[in-house]
Structure 1
Amino acid sequence: MKLRAGLLSVATVVITVIIITLTAIVGRLTAALVPAVTQMGVQLITEVLAFGCWWGFNRWYPKAKVSWWHAGVRHQWVLVVPVVIVLLGDATLHPEFQITVSHILMAILLGFSVGLFEEYVFRGVLVSAMRQRYQIGPVLTAVVSGLMFSLVHLINASGGSLTMTLVQMLEAVGLGFFFAAVYLVTNSLWLPIIGHGLIDGFDILAFGTLDNTAGMNVWTSLLYAVVFSFAAYWLLKTKRFAVQISANGSSQIDFARQPHEVRPVIQRQSVSAIKTLVAIAIPVLELGLGAVVAEVTTDKWIRIILVDLIFLIGLCTAIYVYHDVLSDHWHRFKHHLGSGLLVAICGVIAAYMLLSAVRQGLTLVGLASSGSSTIMSIQTAGLALVASLTTLMAPFAEEIVFRHALFYQWRGRGAFTWLMLIVSSIAFGLVHWNNFHGEIVQMIPYMFVGALFGLIYYFSRNIWQVILTHFLFDIIQVIAVIAMFILAIVQAG
């Protein structure tokens, strides 16, 4: 993504936060001067003024040409129907509807004022500017729109729960991505505004507020994020719809079904016995040498540094042996970074949901054992930070070994292909032997995650897709370690 497009994305969030802060002050001053103005009235004033400020600001920068409505596409309103999923989901979160004329009126006004302001900024201005000024691809444009829309919700943490703010941000990523896709394929900003307004208006009626402490649940938010992300990706990649927000100032209206690109049939690939044996030897030697280091070395720093070096040698060996696969797949993957990032994010969400579900299932059948601590939970913050280097190397080496050498290169062999998926997934779980001190039950959830990663590789047909997914999955742990390290420094100071 071009540097200026990235700066515009960040500037959009910063400017929005500043404008909301200033207009909220004006709203509270109005309520102080006019006691009849309620809390909802203050928020309505804030949203309307914020929209006016951004509309005026856009005339100076970035001067995006916002398309409010395009009459050339018939039945485009159907694309708003999926928001019913949010209404049904929120209806399960113990709503307390207030059905009065005044409340319904305020819900409509406030819901659509929020939708008008936020969709104008993050879809109308940001999406249009990225396409018109910087010629960014539609998928990456929509992903950035969803991420920036999510980030601006961090402002809600100042007056509420940080946890629920993060849950709200998760939901905002999926919905923001979807609304951006709708705008891109219809050239009609009113559609995202209507969809957004329906959701917020419903929540006001159901919970009496738009505060993230009400009407929020981590599981429904995960569901919204996954469902709407896939819906958005389908809208942008299917040949049924043409992207209307053009990068060159011209576009054609065409909602007729176009011929789909025919993907090549998966062919049987020759397997190198020597390469495969080397790949299998890498994790075996890493586990064996790691155990030897633990036996002969009592100093924790030396032990962790030696383990990091062992993993580094294993990584370099795997890359050297399969550099041809990595190079060939990268040439294809780099042209689809936006969609690849989206698939990776959805894969991470699915992996953590699967991890949680399997662990709960093991608990229900009485197999789960306590004490699933890893090296990060028993070492000091500094040791854990150094130890986490293996976590950064793991996605590359493990995907080469377990997903390519033990599974993907065996494709096109019928039942044997899927047998290798099972074998590689079990081996992937067992490679965490030292992390869980030999407790096999604790490794079972990672066997399921390994199968998920294998399927991502199989259907994407690109090793970099699963490497990126695995890397994002592991980087969450590294971020947690960094936070522990910073906290330790602060406490020591």
Structure 2
Amino acid sequence: MSAPPPEHPAVPETSINYRQLGLFCLLYFASFLATVVCSWLPPVSLYIEAGITILIDGGLLVLVLRTYGAFLKQSWPAFRYHIGRHLALTFAWMIGLKIINAIVTAIVTAVSNTTAIPVVPPTPELLKTAFWLILSSAPGLLIAPFIEEIFFRHLLYYQWRGRKIAPVMFWLSATVFGLWHWSNVAGQWPQLIPYAVIGIFLALIYRHKHNIWYNIMTHFFYNLVAVVLLLILSLILFLR
């Protein structure tokens, strides 16, 4: 019988591939600029926005799989071994992140006098389209963990471990992760802080487990729960 893979093997330290890092930074910056430009343009159908997001995330996912497919495959056996226990652990971490996010959001909201979620009157038209809009946005939300964990946690932080700049990259990755979600806060910039805090804890998970799949699944569960709850809520409101 072969020995089980190490519980959380350290990824062998390699030289920084600045070309790949630069490519991903350029693509993320281009995506950021695209969302900024779209915010200045006349409003378009929310379904079109969701479709554009899916196309961008789908393209980035293909790039991630082509570039880091071997890395993900190498890291998978250690996570797959006792997969039930590992999925339960990442689900528990997800719950912890939800609690941390709620606490930090409440503090930021109280201190900055901003609103965590913009309040939109539940008009009949909105209720009619909310379910299908969330459903059309779901693929992008479920693809995002694979892309964001490779970029923010691996490229921007973990591959720099053992170097003097590693602590700087730890905080930089969390800060950039928070800023990346600017479109979620409707211009209320203090509300980006909870996203940065989530980035800190996700980086700590990677630092502790040395396996990107713990991050991917924690992040995936985080988004999945949000999608499912929003779908249920919108469906209930629509059927009322």
TM range (shorter): 0.7 to 0.9
Counterparts of 1:265 and 1:468, CA distance in 2: 18
Higher-Rg member (1/2): 1
2:3 is matched with: none
Q: Is the 8 A contact 2:7 2:79 kept in 1?
A: no
| 1:298 aligned partner | 44
Gaps of 5+ in 2: 1-5
Report percent identity of matched pairs. Answer: 27
Counterparts in 2 of 1:356 and 1:263: CA distance versus 1, 3 Å: closer
TM-score (norm: length of structure 1): 0.43
Q: 2:171 & 2:193 partners in 1: Cα distance? A: 12
Contact 1:425/1:451 (CA < 8 Å) preserved in 2? yes
Give distance in 2, aligned partners of 1:444 and 1:312.
Answer: 27
The answer to whether the Cα contact below 8 Å between 2:72 and 2:212 also exists between their aligned partners in 1 is: yes
Residue identity matched to 2:227: V
Return closer, same or farther for 1:305/1:418 CA change in 2, 3 Å cut-off.
same
Pairing 1:361–2:107 present: yes
Residue in 2 that maps onto 1:211: none
Q: Which residue does 1:406 correspond to in 2?
A: 156
Which residue of structure 2 lines up, in the alignment, with residue 392 of structure 1?
142
Shift of 1:318: 2.1
1:339/1:293 Cα in 2 relative to 1: closer, same or farther (>3 Å)? Answer: same
- Say whether residues 1:467 and 2:216 are aligned partners: yes
- Report the CA distance between 1:427 and its aligned residue: 0.6
1:482 matched to 2:231? The reply is yes
- 1:347 deviates by 1.0
* Distance in 2 (alpha carbons) for counterparts of 1:263 and 1:464: 10
Distance 1:327 1:299, change over 3 A: same
CA offset digits 1:156-207 (Å, max 9, x no partner): xxxxxxxxxxxxxxxxxxxxxxxxxxxxxxxxxxxxxxxxxxxxxxxxxxxx
Cα 1:470/1:361, change in 2 over 3 Å: same
- Answer whether contact 2:152 2:173 (CA < 8 A) is retained: yes
Q: Match of 1:436?
A: 185
Amino acid at match of 1:270: S
Aligned length: 228
* CA deviation vs aligned residue, 1:14-64 (integer Å, no higher than 9, x gap): xxxxxxxxxxxxxxxxxxxxxxxxxxxxxxxxxxxxxxxxxxxxxxxxxxx
Deviations 1:404-423 (A, max 9, x none): 11011111114x21211100
Q: Which has the higher helix share?
A: 2
Write the deviation string for residues 126-147 of structure 1: whole angstroms up to 9, x where unpaired: xxxxxxxxxxxxxxxxxxxxxx
Note if contact 1:266-1:411 (Cα within 8 Å) is conserved in structure 2.
no
Q: Are 2:131 and 1:381 aligned?
A: yes
Find 1:426's aligned residue among 166, 175, 196. Answer: 175
Describe the SS at the equivalent of 1:312.
helix
**CA distance, structure 2, for counterparts of residue 458 and residue 269 of structure 1:** 16
Q: How big is each residue's C-alpha offset from its partner over 1:334-390, in whole Å with a ceiling of 9 and x where there is no partner?
A: 1131231132022112212221222233245x2241253399x97722212212322
**Quick one: structure 1 residues 283 and 277, their matched pair in 2 at CA, closer, same or farther if it must change by over 3 Å?**
same
Deviations 1:402-459 (A, max 9, x none): 0111011111114x21211100000111110111123221110110111101111111
Contact 2:177 2:196 in 1 (8 A): yes
Unaligned runs of 5+ in 1: 1-260
TM-score (ref. length: structure 2): 0.84
Q: Pick the aligned partner of 2:26 from 281, 285, 289.
A: 281
Measure the CA separation in 2 of the matches of 1:265 and 1:310: 31
Q: Offset at 1:480?
A: 1.5
Alignment of 1:113-152 (within 5 A): none
Q: Deviations over 1:104-156 (max 9, x none)?
A: xxxxxxxxxxxxxxxxxxxxxxxxxxxxxxxxxxxxxxxxxxxxxxxxxxxxx
Q: Distance in 1 between matches of 2:212 and 2:7?
A: 21
Match of 1:372 among 117, 128, 135: 117
Q: Is the 8 A contact 2:178 2:194 kept in 1?
A: yes
- The Cα shift of 1:262 comes to 11
- The 5 Å alignment of 1:251-330 reads 268-294=13-39, 295=41, 298-330=44-76
Contact kept? 1:293, 1:306, Cα under 8 Å: no
CA RMSD of superposed structures (Å)? 2.6
Letter in 2 for 1:445: P
Per-residue CA distance 1:55-88 (angstroms, 9 max, x = gap): xxxxxxxxxxxxxxxxxxxxxxxxxxxxxxxxxx
